């Protein structure tokens, strides 16, 4: 499935893969994977929000930053 995400080309296939991920993994993990692929491919895909936190995921130089209205103390995860 990771290969499917990495090879995705269109918005429709991105949404399809995200839905497949969310049905098998927790929503946060699905969003992290999509955010990672977005950074690797340079696509604007990482604005998908998690269902639980409504927090977009940003991947920048191998760090994952969660952004939401509560700010989560600005935590960045290596």
pLDDT digits (tens, 9 = 90+) for 48-77: 444 444 444 455 544 444 454 444 445 444
What is the C-alpha separation between 67 and 7, in angstroms, rounded?
26
Is the pLDDT assigned to residue 23 strictly greater than 50?
yes
Tell me which residue of 11, 20, 12 sits closest to 3, measured CA to CA: 20
Q: Give the chain's end-to-end CA distance (angstroms, integer).
A: 23
Count of structural domains, the chain? 1
> Residue 15: which domain range?
2-77
* The model's pTM: 0.24
């Amino acid at each position: 499935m990771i290969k499917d995400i990495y090879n995705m080309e269109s918005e429709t296939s991105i949404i399809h893969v995200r839905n497949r991920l969310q049905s098998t993994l927790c929503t946060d993990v699905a969003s992290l994977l999509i955010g990672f692929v977005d950074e690797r491919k340079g696509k604007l895909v990482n604005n998908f929000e998690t269902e639980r936190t409504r927090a977009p995921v940003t991947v920048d130089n191998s760090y994952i930053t969660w952004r939401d209205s509560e700010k989560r103390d600005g935590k960045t995860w290596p």
